[in-house]
Amino acid sequence: MTSPAPIAFSSYVAEHHAQGRLVVQPRMGFGTIPRMRDGLRAVAGARADTVGTLTLDSYTRVGDHAAADLALRDGHDLNGYPLVLHGAADTRGMVAEAVGTRVPVQVRHGSAQPLKIFRTLLDAGLDATEGGPVSYCLPYSRVPLAKAVEAWAECCEVLAPGPGDGRPGHLESFAGCMLGQLCPPSLTVALSILEGLFFRQHGLRSISLSYAQQVHAGQDLEAIRALRRLIGEFLPDLDTHIVVYTFMGLFPNTPEGAAAISRDSVELAMSAGAHRLIVKTAVESSRIPTVAENVEALELAAAHAARFAPQVALARTEHRDEHDADSETYLEARALIDAVRGLRHDIGDSLVTAFRTGVLDLPYCLHPDNAGRTRTAFTPEGRLTWADTGRMPLPPRSARTAPRAGGSAELLRMLGENQRRYDLRPAPPVLR
């Protein structure tokens, strides 16, 4: 009797979404096979609709597998799973023992040149990973963008056929999370679509696009609706879904603040029709969470999603048009996408040219290939907007209505905005 085949990552997420259920996922990774096995087993057994995660360590991200080996031999902990070092065979066995065919597993890595990672995960029977030529280059490395684009083109072509058992390779763009707490959503939305176009150009048919919770709930909802609309306009032929991240910046210090921002991220994901949520734990501001703390975060998110689901269903019944017609986020993102696509025939070449000429410019990003002329600020309503658009071809009203950029003190204040706001938020009443 043959064992059941693993379910495709994208199919699993789509099936749960069709049932009105939010898939929740941790960012968990451990250095040794026994600890990683225990973590995946606990995630698969959580009282939630989960997918497992193999988050890779810092040495593997930069290709220093010898350093990862030395650290483990010396008894040191790693901050993730050294996939290439452990190899495909041992990883395949570990995943099969931990989760079997109950839940799919995604590899998360942070590498600008991840070809060995991609080959190893496929050989291990895994079908899903994440990143992108821009989103895993500019914030995290000093690799020239042109080299990252070349590397990711090969990686996409390797991943697209999947692990050889009929499941397609699935790739999630990380662009919606890139410097998210300081980057107005129009740019992260535009970059998500542009990376999606890059993935499609290099053979991928199954992708997901990300968005990280920021500082203004209304702006976040507007941004995800703009992203959904742009997916329909530019990527209608692909199997796609949206994944939301609980806030990626300085996390609240108090348990009450952490719980509140996590609940808000669940409500954002549900209200926007996202399929998947990457959760954070109550201890994110101070240390790496344990397996038990990751499971607790998953179960709390799932429980809140179940409680919030009736409100989402009612809202969709009353308001069938879920898109904001020509919102500011949509107009800005569309302008950037059109400008970049018009630069070159090849989308990879277009991305390199866009950053070289300032058509795309990440605020506060120090990578040598980023122009670094843009700045951001908060409006009086608390929305994150442009204070200086540099050379980016944004609609004139963005520059005309922009607040003035502040100095280093204002930058630090912006970075800590959500942490302060949620830590000071009054606790909800106790229900008896």
- Asked if 276 contacts 13 with a C-beta cutoff of 8 angstroms, the reply is yes
- Asked if 80 contacts 60 with a C-beta cutoff of 8 angstroms, the reply is yes
* pLDDT exceeds cutoff 60 at 172: yes
Q: What's the confidence (pLDDT) of residue 252? A: 87
Domain 14-318 annotated CATH 3.20.20.240: yes
- Asked if 176 contacts 188 with a C-beta cutoff of 8 angstroms, the reply is yes
- Residue 183's nearest CA partner among 193, 194, 172, 175 is 175
pLDDT band at 427 (very low <50, low <70, confident <90, very high): low
Antiparallel, parallel or unpaired: β 384-388 and 375-378? antiparallel
pLDDT band at 320 (very low <50, low <70, confident <90, very high): low
Q: What's the confidence (pLDDT) of residue 429? A: 45
Range 32-46 average pLDDT: 98
Q: What's the confidence (pLDDT) of residue 278? A: 97
Q: What pLDDT digit, counting tens, does each position of 177-204 carry?
A: 987 668 999 999 999 999 999 999 999 9
Q: What's the confidence (pLDDT) of residue 426? A: 61
The single residue listed with the structure tokens 């025939």 is: 345
Residue type, 296: E
pLDDT band at 420 (very low <50, low <70, confident <90, very high): confident
Mean pLDDT of the chain, nearest integer = 91
Structure tokens at 234: 């530019």
Q: How far apart are CA 100 and CA 108, in angstroms?
A: 19
Q: How far apart are CA 145 and CA 136, in angstroms?
A: 10
Range 68-86 average pLDDT: 96
* pLDDT exceeds cutoff 80 at 317: no
Residue type, 429: P
Q: How far apart are CA 85 and CA 72, in angstroms?
A: 10
Q: What's the confidence (pLDDT) of residue 419? A: 82
- Domain positions in the chain are 14-318
Q: Count CB atoms within 10 A of the CB of residue 129.
A: 26
Range 18-31 average pLDDT: 96
* pLDDT exceeds cutoff 50 at 430: no
Q: What's the confidence (pLDDT) of residue 432? A: 35
Q: What's the confidence (pLDDT) of residue 230? A: 98
pTM beyond 0.85, yes or no = yes
* pLDDT exceeds cutoff 50 at 274: yes
pLDDT, greater one: 212 or 418: 212
Q: What's the confidence (pLDDT) of residue 250? A: 80
- Asked if 376 contacts 182 with a C-beta cutoff of 8 angstroms, the reply is yes
Q: What's the confidence (pLDDT) of residue 41? A: 98
* pLDDT exceeds cutoff 80 at 318: no
* pLDDT exceeds cutoff 70 at 153: yes
Three-state secondary-structure class, residue 375: strand
Q: How far apart are CA 123 and CA 165, in angstroms?
A: 11
Structure tokens at 97: 């023992």
Three-state secondary-structure class, residue 191: helix
